């Protein structure tokens, strides 16, 4: 899809992050209706023609006139929140750094797990080796150390949640 094709069929509200159809398509799509749905992976997606697009990528195209060069990160971590102020380009590592703690986490803190009778803080990486921050007596101490190390390594992309 090109910038002109996108602007021809969809209207983007950068304050709400929502797309609306500009034209009627068949019987089920009417001009002015909200476009898209939330997919199983939690991202908003919009089907145009025979192809589905992630709404955050369409928002980037709509606002800049170009497809993103890198990955796009949702600053607040909500995959369906496509407000322009919530989107930023990122590398794979930066995007991973902004992820929230996993559901199966047992310590209650991102990057912290039990190691014997102590707690280990570690910055995990899908690319390359994990970084050990250290071992601590309490999960809170490990979390504090994790936050400091993540902030130093990832800056504004660090997410301790």
| Tens digit of pLDDT at every position of the chain (161 positions) | 999 999 999 999 999 999 999 998 777 889 999 999 999 999 999 998 889 999 999 999 999 999 999 899 999 888 999 999 999 998 887 777 767 777 777 787 888 888 889 999 888 766 667 888 899 999 889 988 888 887 887 777 877 66
Number of domains observed in the structure of the chain: 2
68 found inside a domain:
yes
Q: Are 104 and 86 contained in the same domain?
A: no
Write down the pTM of the prediction: 0.74
E strands in 22-143: 37-38, 44-48, 51-54, 71-74, 87-90, 112-115, 118-123, 131-136
Name the residue range of residue 121's domain: 100-157
DSSP lists the bridge partners of residue 118 as 115
- Residue 14 belongs to a domain with what CATH number? 3.90.75.20
Q: Are 84 and 24 contained in the same domain?
A: yes
């Amino acid at each position: 899809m090109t910038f002109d094709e996108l602007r021809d069929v969809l209207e983007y509200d950068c304050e709400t992050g929502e797309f609306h159809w500009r034209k009627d398509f068949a019987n089920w799509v009417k001009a002015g209706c909200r476009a898209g749905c939330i997919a199983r992976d939690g991202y908003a997606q919009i089907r145009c023609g025979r192809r589905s697009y992630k709404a955050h990528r369409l928002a980037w195209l709509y606002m800049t006139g170009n497809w993103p060069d890198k990955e796009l990160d949702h600053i607040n971590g909500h995959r369906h929140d496509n407000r322009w102020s919530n989107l930023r380009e990122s590398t794979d590592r930066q995007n991973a750094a902004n992820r929230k703690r996993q559901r199966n986490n047992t310590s209650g803190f991102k990057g912290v797990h039990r190691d014997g009778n102590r707690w280990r803080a570690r910055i995990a990486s899908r690319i390359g080796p994990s970084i050990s921050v250290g071992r601590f007596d309490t999960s809170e101490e490990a979390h504090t150390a994790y936050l400091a190390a993540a902030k130093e390594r990832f800056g504004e992309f660090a997410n301790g949640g």
